Chain A
Amino acid sequence: MSGREQISNYLKSFSRYLASLSSEDAAEVIQEIESHIYDVIDQQEMAGKEANIESILAGLGAPRVLAENYVSHIQQGTPPPKGFRPLTSVTKGLSKTLYWGMLAFGYGTGLALIVLAFANLLLPNGIAFWVEAEGNSVAVGFLSNPILANSDATITGLWITPVALVSAYAISLLTYRILALLKRFAVGYQYA
């Protein structure tokens, strides 16, 4: 592997671990580290030595550890003004609860819809929607007795599969986006 490839791989890996920084902050941090690497290479070459890329990258440490040092500094942040600390801890705790709650709910719903889609292919008349109370209440479930499918309030059919898959994709995507926002908010709110 060439020196440039080693540097490129290091920076790519480093950038992945900086995901909790804003894109502008991460880009600036990466640019500075890249600038440092090439400065050291120039310095070694000007001293008549062959640039040792491995040793330069080793000086920076593993990409994950270097990124953690940056992120931990940001999480530590500037001390808040008097009286602000309790509010900060509450917000941080809330963000954490919200993050994990959203993760469980969003991906759980997505997974349930995917299971529903495939179950509908295996049991075409065994999965149904029930519409009750003049459309005010909708339920979905397995039919133990397919005769019930004749009821006016029961809807079955193969169309449930694509609808469930599209819904699962949409819910998972939405969950992913919301989690990314929550993660950024939980880390970077001190500087908002």
Chain B
Amino acid sequence: MTEASNQSAKWDAQLRKGTLELAILAAVASEEKYGLAILNYLHSFETMVISEGTLYPLLDRLKREGVLNAKWHQEGEVRPRKYYSLTESGLERLHILRARWKRSVVDMESLLADTAIGEGNGADSVTETGKRKG
């Protein structure tokens, strides 16, 4: 791993720490999903590659906090799976966190626009930010 990609990975990890909760709430907002489906969905985004060991305890915490509903479903011969969906309180928290995230993005964009440093070699990676993989 090059120094630049190493730094990018560290930055992604730091950023994820603060945004993972928002990412999970967003992942189950449109439809209920079970653990592996949430993990696969998050992995389809370049900066959201988290481990199972991080995801499941966090799902458990969000369920205990009452922002996620969890129900076991069994479809046909498939083994039972625990599906997560947003509660009313979860939807409310999603709106609040989304608003704060958008505010942060605007603030950061303004901060970066004010700097005298050009985008240089990082220009490509900036345009890729937020784009879905594959």
What is the interface of chain A, defined by CB distance below 8 A to chain B?
Answer: 28-29, 31-33, 35-36, 38-40, 43, 59-61, 65-66, 69-70, 72-74, 76-78, 191
Q: Which residues of B contact A59 (CB under 8 A)?
A: 51-53
Is A39 in contact with B81, judged by CB distance below 8 angstroms? Answer: yes
Question: A73 to B60, Cβ gap below 8 A?
Answer: yes
18 contacts between A and B (CB under 8 A): A28-B82, A29-B56, A32-B56, A35-B34, A35-B80, A36-B35, A38-B79, A39-B34, A39-B79, A60-B52, A61-B52, A61-B53, A66-B57, A70-B56, A73-B61, A73-B64, A74-B60, A191-B64
B65 and A78 form a contact (CB under 8 A): yes
Q: Does B96 reach chain A (CB closer than 8 Å)?
A: no
Within 14-49 of B, Cβ neighbours of A (below 8 Å) are at 34-36
Please state if A36 and B57 are interface contacts (CB–CB under 8 Å): no
The contact size tier of chain B is: 10 to 19
Give chain B residues whose Cβ lies under 8 Å from the Cβ of A60.
Answer: 51-53, 56
Q: Which residues of A contact B60 (CB under 8 A)?
A: 29, 70, 73-74
- What residues of B have a CB within 8 angstroms of the CB of A73 in the complex? 57-58, 60-61, 64
B129 interfacial by beta-carbon distance below 8 Å: no
Contacts of A191 in B (CB 8 A): 64
Given A59-B52, A69-B54, A70-B57, CB of A35 within 8 Å of CB of B79: yes
Bound together, the chains give a CA A28 to CA B64 distance in angstroms of: 13
Q: How far is the CB of B15 from chain A (nearest CB, A)?
A: 20
Kindly list chain B residues whose C-beta atoms are within 8 Å of the C-beta of A70: 56-57, 60
Chain A residues contacting B54 (CB-CB under 8 Å) are 69
- In whole angstroms, how far apart are the Cα atoms of A39 and B60 in the complex? 18
Say yes or no: A36 contacts B53, CB within 8 Å. no
Q: Contact check, B35 vs A32: say whether CB atoms are below 8 A apart.
A: yes
A187 to B66, CA, bound (A): 19
Q: Cβ of A35: which chain B residues have Cβ within 8 Å of it?
A: 34-35, 79-82
A33 neighbours in B (Cβ, 8 Å): 56
* Chain A residues near B53 (CB-CB < 8 A): 59-61, 65-66, 69
Nearest 6 Cβ contacts at the A-B interface: A61-B53, A69-B57, A73-B61, A39-B36, A70-B57, A59-B52
- A37 to B80, alpha carbons, bound, how many Å? 13
Roughly how many angstroms separate A191 CA and B66 CA in the complex, as a whole number?
Answer: 12
* B66 shortest CB reach to chain A, Å: 8
Chain A residues whose CB sits within 8 angstroms of the CB of B82 once the complex forms: 28, 31-32, 35
Nearest B residue (CB) for A38: B79
A76–B60 CA distance with the chains assembled, in angstroms: 12
Measured between C-beta atoms, what is the minimum distance from B68 to chain A in Å? 13
Question: In this complex, what residue of A is CB-closest to B51?
Answer: A59
Give the complex CA separation of A74 and B65 in angstroms.
10
Q: Apart from A35-B35, A76-B61, A78-B65, what 15 extra A-B contacts exist at CB < 8 Å?
A: A28-B82, A32-B82, A35-B34, A36-B35, A36-B56, A59-B52, A60-B51, A60-B52, A60-B56, A61-B52, A66-B53, A66-B57, A70-B60, A73-B58, A78-B64
Residue from A33, A38, A73 whose CB has the most chain B CB atoms within 10 Å: A73
